[in-house]
Chains A and B, each alone.
Chain A
């Protein structure tokens, strides 16, 4: 399965809101692999890659959070200068417009993982295959 499930959580822009949601996940044994917080002056959208997205979703919904499962693609990069820009060049050359992205390290290989989010994931997958870019399967991402 190439598409990675990401939890998108609505947060009010108020002290303690981020702490509270992470605390709830922690207390329920959900392990976070990667995190990105999109903030505006009005509110925040917290995006999490966790070890068990379905469990994470259930726990958050039971605790009254507004949450959606969104999907992203994880791409493995060599941890060298230029690794990131080479991926972006591929996207540019193929007219793929990114919504957002964030990166973290692959614990087991010392490579970097780039999470890409765009409206047409199937096109992205096709392009990455064409360019021989390694897509990290979702299970591998959850079990990092």
Chain B
């Protein structure tokens, strides 16, 4: 089923035409209205009129997360603050977070993206959408919310947590679409079983999941638990939010909304564009965005693009499931975590950065994160109360930095293996391959 059949089934040459026109418009729009782009393009001596073909996008420099952080808070806006009716934000690494702004039109574009996904999964105004994505600065909650409202479905904005209540509502309200992170979805299934329910009897039509690394094996587990198909959503705060890519019924890649985004794959070391089917770093360009047009954003997500025919009928290209990052970011409980954030927290407790290691596991359905910190003369006292206090303080500072609670274990010096090359800061025992 299509939300916008005309757009979603355009022939490839029509897609290219639409993209070129929008690209030319947005480059000029950004150049004229965003001081960052005006300065950058002038320095690089590339101007809007130099974009004559889609290939010419390669003349434009990349935008990185650092650029966005340096423009914090509103330096990337193309419009006056007054026109911005909503703001979302993602965590920063060291330094400032990233801010995304939306005008009323942008909210409409955003809703459009998710509306397409929902419709494809068979969701209509007759359906009840239980949205367990976090509502707040995170874009997951509101993105799904707006899309569901656009198609007229009934949204239950329960957000994250309250798992027993989630199960209760799913049963009482006859939820037909459950939106989750894959690990949380599996956890809800477990709790449902504990409460004496068979998740397959809830009357769901489908599950939509995102915001975390996943494997086909995890998808299958979700589908087996709830007895319905589970579809992936891809998005990132910098480029608006969820909906940039949505899976169709074929479950063979996510269709990128090519009338809203121009995708490229590059070699993350050389910056050179790669061919169809080759794995590399995904670069995205907004083709339609008012408040904050971003051009050639390096997402650091690793994937490949496919332009061949899809049996669902959509002509938009498909991106493969994300299998890794080009940086050291990991996602724990749906939240982005950088080792540098842990380092920043540790430096607040000790003058010398202690040796540490982050261990992420998933013993059951949910992620667990442990930070091992080596003691040192700087980080030791004969006083047990003081030591427990240090341990607790480390935990608090880390939670302040990354937003989730971690287990802190103080260990003996040299008990964390040293390596000659780059220090292994993070041991991720969850298997995503």
Chain B residue nearest to A7 (CB atoms) is B382
Interface residues in B382-407 (C-beta closer than 8 Å to A): 382-384, 387-388, 391
A68 to B383 CA separation, bound complex (whole angstroms): 11
The verdict on A68 contacting B381 (CB below 8 Å), with A10-B375, A10-B412, A17-B412 known, is yes
User: How many whole Å from B364's CB to the nearest CB in chain A?
Assistant: 21
Please state if B382 and A8 are interface contacts (CB–CB under 8 Å): yes
Contact of A68 among B374, B382, B415 (CB under 8 A): B382
Indicate whether A42 reaches chain B with its CB closer than 8 angstroms.
yes
Indicate whether B60 reaches chain A with its CB closer than 8 angstroms.
no
Contact of A66 among B376, B384, B391 (CB under 8 A): B376
A42 to B413 CA separation, bound complex (whole angstroms): 16
The verdict on A42 contacting B391 (CB below 8 Å), with A66-B380, A68-B381 known, is yes
A70 to B384 CA separation, bound complex (whole angstroms): 13
Interface residues in A4-34 (C-beta closer than 8 Å to B): 6, 8, 10-12, 17
Please state if B413 and A64 are interface contacts (CB–CB under 8 Å): yes
Which residues of A have CB within 8 Å of B215? none
Which residues of A have CB within 8 Å of B391? 42-43
Which residues of B have CB within 8 Å of A11? 412
Contact of B377 among A6, A40, A66 (CB under 8 A): A66
User: How many whole Å from A138's CB to the nearest CB in chain B?
Assistant: 17
Which residues of A have CB within 8 Å of B381? 68
A40 to B392 CA separation, bound complex (whole angstroms): 13
Q: How extensive is the interface on chain B, given as a class?
A: 20 to 34
A12 to B415 CA separation, bound complex (whole angstroms): 9
Indicate whether A88 reaches chain B with its CB closer than 8 angstroms.
no
Which of A42, A45, A65: most chain B Cβ within 10 A?
A42
Interface residues in B355-392 (C-beta closer than 8 Å to A): 374-377, 379-384, 387-388, 391
User: How many whole Å from A97's CB to the nearest CB in chain B?
Assistant: 12
Indicate whether B411 reaches chain A with its CB closer than 8 angstroms.
yes
Please state if A45 and B387 are interface contacts (CB–CB under 8 Å): yes
Please state if B409 and A42 are interface contacts (CB–CB under 8 Å): yes
Please state if A10 and B410 are interface contacts (CB–CB under 8 Å): yes
A128 to B384 CA separation, bound complex (whole angstroms): 26
Indicate whether B414 reaches chain A with its CB closer than 8 angstroms.
yes
Contact of B383 among A12, A42, A64, A99 (CB under 8 A): A99
Interface residues in B113-171 (C-beta closer than 8 Å to A): none
A interface with B by C-beta (< 8 Å):
6, 8, 10-12, 17, 38, 40, 42-43, 45, 47, 64-68, 70, 99, 117
Known: A12-B412, A42-B391, A45-B384. 8 other contacts (CB 8 A): A12-B410, A12-B415, A42-B409, A42-B410, A43-B387, A43-B391, A65-B412, A66-B376
The 24 listed contacts between A and B (C-beta, < 8 Å) are A6-B382, A10-B380, A10-B387, A10-B410, A10-B412, A12-B411, A12-B412, A12-B415, A38-B384, A40-B387, A42-B388, A42-B391, A43-B387, A43-B410, A47-B382, A64-B413, A64-B414, A65-B413, A66-B376, A66-B379, A66-B380, A66-B413, A70-B382, A117-B382
